[in-house]
């Protein structure tokens, strides 16, 4: 604790000294002055560490205060002796200016200084005091004790206030940081990082909000076709770039006020106002066309296409975001199934389809165990001689709940899950088992694209054929163009291996896909099966007849067998003979029949001349 005394009269200094000695405990107060004043009730301030600085000249006292401030060793109290010839006013003014917390005690012999005047100079009032001389030790001791204590408390308070304001500042900064982080987190929670478009969550939220407003609006799901192919062949960076560019394109064509969101992978959600189905479908078609342009991605020219499904939320009623999304998705699936690169409007039947589908899916899983599956066999005959060269194996599923279910329905469903492998393995085993008893005919087994792409597709077949003890020549593998052209290089490799091992391979449903002559030449094949609908149209449409003729010519040019399936009339047979198809298959010769009937037919080796039908519809349901 430091005290400053400015008094012109050195004799007075002694009086101060004495007082302070009492304070410091050097002198017994009893020996000195009236003990009452000094026996302070509260010791409080540590007066033992008192440091007193004396000055006789005002200016040097002021300088002392300045030093104390600079060195951060401030005075608690300054006693300033006042006499007529001194410029006290100026000093106290300067001292106060230098140190706002110093307690000023003016010691005068009379009241020549008016308090208001001093206050304006050296205020505030609670830091300025008057002692009317002559000063006594008791007074000095008392006032020093009181002011020192107060000064210390003030200082502690000031320190606490500074600490507090620092804490507040830190807290404020913390809060500000939290706010930015929260903002960022909120952005991340609602926006996709790749495209910066709203994500699924934000999209559903927007749908909900839009649903509460009046007016019709459309919800669409748009998905890139065969995006996986881009990702696999050009890498994920290219895939990302395709997504980004697609998002930009969509944003540029979406009607004003609409929203483009990235829902997942290569799937986008669109929300826009639409007056009705037609308007919504038109917008979606425009979106599909816009995304269908070719783009440059990391130096590659990439051709992308997209499919879309759209549903219009009615003026009133079903406007639940999740329902709308599901319906848009159903329409999208329908678009994908119908050949991609197009937009589809949602229709209620799609919802119905989904219900059947679920039932089929769950039933199919138990079909084998319950013995609900059978294999039927339909002969394939040489054109002209009607010698049976093989049988196509066709699966049948009969359930107590639904009756017979067509493979046209359940195979595509199984194909979307791993169930197809279980069914396929079962079909292959049954088919080989049946063929074992035939004199020489092959069994022609259908494999769906997913089966064809399965790991170890070839190995699995080899194993089953070996286990059945059958010559590979007697297994014909039917695959569709889709299975091949999704990944032509791998397919070519697989087909080559199969042919090397002696298996027969034919391309099923030929004429509907994208096969080019070039592609066909690359693949090791034994034959083509002309898509049934062309045979069906043979006698009615000039176009079908032309297609059939050119497929036959193509097959011959490539030294391939050409099998016409779905042959039902003699007229068709005549036309097919003229065209030069090598083999025929259809109801005209035989319906698909059970293993026993097939065995008998195989033993006979021939079907009756067209007209005499073998088998019946009864087998179909058997």
Tell me the two tokens of residue 79.
């006693």
- 2 contacts which partner out of ligand C2E, Ca ion, none, CB within 5 to 8 A by kind? none
What is the CB neighbour count within 10 angstroms for residue 196? 11
Gap between the Cα atoms of 572 and 578, Å rounded: 10
User: Which listed range, 68-76, 281-289, 357-365, 563-571, lies at the site for ligand C2E (CB under 6 A)?
Assistant: 563-571
Q: Report, in Å, the least distance between residue 512 CB and ligand C2E.
A: 10
User: Is 299 exposed, middle or buried (CB count within 10 Å of its CB: 0-12, 13-18, 19+)?
Assistant: exposed
Q: Report, in Å, the least distance between residue 510 CB and Ca ion.
A: 8
Gap between the Cα atoms of 214 and 370, Å rounded: 53
Given the complex with ligand C2E, which of 438 and 589 has the nearer CB atom? 589
Degrees, nearest 5: CA angle 73-78-80: 150
Compose the 323-362 pattern: x for residues touching ligand C2E by CB under 6 A, - for all others: ----------------------------------------
What is the CB neighbour count within 10 angstroms for residue 173? 10
Q: Beta strand 259-264 with 128-132: parallel, antiparallel or unpaired?
A: unpaired
The helix (H) or strand (E) run that includes residue 431 is helix 419-436
Note the residue count of the chain: 622
Q: Computed from CA positions of residues 208, 211, 217, 219, in that sequence, does the dihedral angle turn out positive or negative?
A: positive
Is residue 447 within the footprint of ligand C2E (CB under 6 A)?
A: yes
User: Which listed range, 52-60, 65-73, 228-236, 445-453, lies at the site for Ca ion (CB under 5 A)?
Assistant: 445-453
**Out of 140, 367, 411, 498, which residue is the one contacting ligand C2E (CB under 6 A)?**
411
3-state class (DSSP) for residue 3:
strand
* Residue 557 φ/ψ, nearest 5 degrees: -60, -30
* Residue 388 φ/ψ, nearest 5 degrees: -80, 115
Maximum C-alpha span of the chain = 151
Given the complex with Ca ion, which of 260 and 477 has the nearer CB atom? 477
Is residue 408 within the footprint of ligand C2E (CB under 6 A)?
A: yes
Is residue 451 within the footprint of Ca ion (CB under 5 A)?
A: no
**Out of 64, 99, 329, 478, which residue is the one contacting Ca ion (CB under 5 A)?**
478
Given the complex with Ca ion, which of 64 and 478 has the nearer CB atom? 478
3-state class (DSSP) for residue 69:
helix
3-state class (DSSP) for residue 591:
coil
- 407 contacts which partner out of Ca ion, ligand C2E, none, CB within 5 to 8 A by kind? ligand C2E
> Residue 198 region, left (φ>0) first, then alpha (ψ -120 to 50), else beta?
beta
Is residue 446 within the footprint of ligand C2E (CB under 6 A)?
A: yes
Gap between the Cα atoms of 606 and 592, Å rounded: 15
Given the complex with ligand C2E, which of 485 and 587 has the nearer CB atom? 587
- 411 contacts which partner out of Ca ion, ligand C2E, none, CB within 5 to 8 A by kind? ligand C2E
Given the complex with ligand C2E, which of 64 and 508 has the nearer CB atom? 508
Given the complex with ligand C2E, which of 63 and 568 has the nearer CB atom? 568
User: Which listed range, 34-42, 60-68, 88-96, 393-401, lies at the site for ligand C2E (CB under 6 A)?
Assistant: 393-401
- 68 contacts which partner out of ligand C2E, Ca ion, none, CB within 5 to 8 A by kind? none
Given the complex with ligand C2E, which of 52 and 381 has the nearer CB atom? 381
What is the total count of residues that contact ligand C2E (CB under 6 A)? 23
Is residue 568 within the footprint of ligand C2E (CB under 6 A)?
A: yes
* Residue 541 φ/ψ, nearest 5 degrees: -115, 135
- 495 contacts which partner out of Ca ion, ligand C2E, none, CB within 5 to 8 A by kind? none
Residues 483-512 that bind Ca ion (CB under 5 A): 508-509
Gap between the Cα atoms of 597 and 603, Å rounded: 10
Interface residue list for Ca ion (CB under 5 A) = 446, 478, 508-509
Which chain residues interact with ligand C2E by CB under 6 A?
378, 393-395, 406-408, 411, 424, 427, 446-448, 508-509, 532, 565-568, 586-587, 592
């Amino acid at each position: 604790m430091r005290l400053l005394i400015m008094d012109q009269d050195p004799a007075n200094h002694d009086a101060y000294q004495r007082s302070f000695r009492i304070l410091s405990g050097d002198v017994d107060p009893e020996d000195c002055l009236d003990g009452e004043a000094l026996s302070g009730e509260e010791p409080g301030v540590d007066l033992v560490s008192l440091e007193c600085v004396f000055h006789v000249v005002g200016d040097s006292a002021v300088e002392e205060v300045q030093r104390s401030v600079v060195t951060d060793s401030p005075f608690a109290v300054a006693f300033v002796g006042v006499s007529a010839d001194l410029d006290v006013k100026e000093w106290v003014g300067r001292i106060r200016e230098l140190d706002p917390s110093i307690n000023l005690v003016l010691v005068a012999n009379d009241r020549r200084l008016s308090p208001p005047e001093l206050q304006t100079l050296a205020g505030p009032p609670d830091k300025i005091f008057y002692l009317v001389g002559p000063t006594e030790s008791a007074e000095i001791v008392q006032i020093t004790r009181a002011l020192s204590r107060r000064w210390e408390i003030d200082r502690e308070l000031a320190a606490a206030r500074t600490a507090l304001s620092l804490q507040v500042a830190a807290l404020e900064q913390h809060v500000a940081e939290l706010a930015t982080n929260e903002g960022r987190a909120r952005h991340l929670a609602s926006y996709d990082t790749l495209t910066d478009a709203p994500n699924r969550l934000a999209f559903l939220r927007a749908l909900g909000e839009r649903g509460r407003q009046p007016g019709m609006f459309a919800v669409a799901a748009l998905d890139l076709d065969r995006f996986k192919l881009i990702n696999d062949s050009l890498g994920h960076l290219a895939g990302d770039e395709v997504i980004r560019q697609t998002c930009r394109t969509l944003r540029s064509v979406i009607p004003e006020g609409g929203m483009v969101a990235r829902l997942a992978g290569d799937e986008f959600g669109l929300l826009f106002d639409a007056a009705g189905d037609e308007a919504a479908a038109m917008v979606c078609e425009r979106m599909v066309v816009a995304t269908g342009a070719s783009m440059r991605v990391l130096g590659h020219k990439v051709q992308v296409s997209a499919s879309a499904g759209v549903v219009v939320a009615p003026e009133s009623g079903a406007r639940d975001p999740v329902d709308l999304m599901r319906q848009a998705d159903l329409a999208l699936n329908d678009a994908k199934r119908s050949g991609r690169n197009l937009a589809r409007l949602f229709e209620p039947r799609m919802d119905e389809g989904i219900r059947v589908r679920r039932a089929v899916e769950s039933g199919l899983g138990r079909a084998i165990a319950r013995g609900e599956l059978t294999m039927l066999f339909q002969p394939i005959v040489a054109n002209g001689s009607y010698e049976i060269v093989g049988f196509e194996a066709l699966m049948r599923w009969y359930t107590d709940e639904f009756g017979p279910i067509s493979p046209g329905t359940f195979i595509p469903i199984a194909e979307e899950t791993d169930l197809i492998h279980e069914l396929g393995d079962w079909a292959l085993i049954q088919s080989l088992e049946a063929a074992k008893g035939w004199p020489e005919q092959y069994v022609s087994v259908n494999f769906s694209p997913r089966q064809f792409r399965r790991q170890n597709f070839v190995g699995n077949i080899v194993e089953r054929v070996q286990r059945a003890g059958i010559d590979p020549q007697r297994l014909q593998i039917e695959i569709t163009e889709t299975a091949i052209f999704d990944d032509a290089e791998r397919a070519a490799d697989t087909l080559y291996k199969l042919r090397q091992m002696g298996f027969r391979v034919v391309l099923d449903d030929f004429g509907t896909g994208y096969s080019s002559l070039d592609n066909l030449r690359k693949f090791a094949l034994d034959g083509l099966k002309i898509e049934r609908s062309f045979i069906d149209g043979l006698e009615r449409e000039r176009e079908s007849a032309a297609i059939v003729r050119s497929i036959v010519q193509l097959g011959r040019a490539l030294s391939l067998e050409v099998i016409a399936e779905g042959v039902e009339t003699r007229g068709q047979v005549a036309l097919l003979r003229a065209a030069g198809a090598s083999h025929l298959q259809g109801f005209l010769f035989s319906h698909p029949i059970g293993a026993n009937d097939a065995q008998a037919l195989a033993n006979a080796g021939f079907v009756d001349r067209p007209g005499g039908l073998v088998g019946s519809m009864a087998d179909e349901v058997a």
